[in-house]
Amino acid sequence: MPAANLDILISNSQGDDEFVREIVAMAVEQVKEQIAELRTLCTSGENPEWVAAAHALKGSAATIGAEEMRLLCAFAQKELHDADASVRKAKLDEIEAAYHDARQSLIDQKFLAA
């Protein structure tokens, strides 16, 4: 299975590959911004902003079919609401690695320009 599976998006696009490419490009840019935001929220202690940002990033990951990234974001949202900054940073590093894998998969699948 690729790091990004667009089967659902492709199915909903009714064969419009240009539409799929536009959605993917917007979502990938949004993910990049959301990761940067989440990085600023790597603080210690209870942090509802971290939870909200992880939730939003989870949705963006789902848009591009990045299941590993979506699962990591779900964990970050549910389990790291009251965590140490270093724990949050380590999870964010995993999320970012999954993002890079998904981005490369989208490039390989010709749905995203390099």
| pLDDT of the residue at 1 | 65
Kindly report the CATH number assigned to the domain that includes residue 94. 1.20.120
Q: Which domain holds residue 34?
A: 7-108
Q: Which pLDDT tens digit goes with each residue over 35-84?
A: 999 999 999 999 999 999 999 999 999 999 999 999 999 999 999 999 99
Give the number of domains in the chain: 1
Among 3-17, 22-36, 91-105, name the one with the lowest average pLDDT.
3-17
Task: Give domain status of residue 114, yes or no.
Answer: no
pLDDT exceeds cutoff 90 at 2: no
Write the secondary structure of the chain as one string of H (helix), E (strand) and C (coil): CCCCCCHHHHHHCCCCHHHHHHHHHHHHHHHHHHHHHHHHCCCCEECHHHHHHHHHHHHHHHHCCCHHHHHHHHHHHHHCCEECHHHHHHHHHHHHHHHHHHHHHHHHCCCCCC
Task: Give domain status of residue 73, yes or no.
Answer: yes
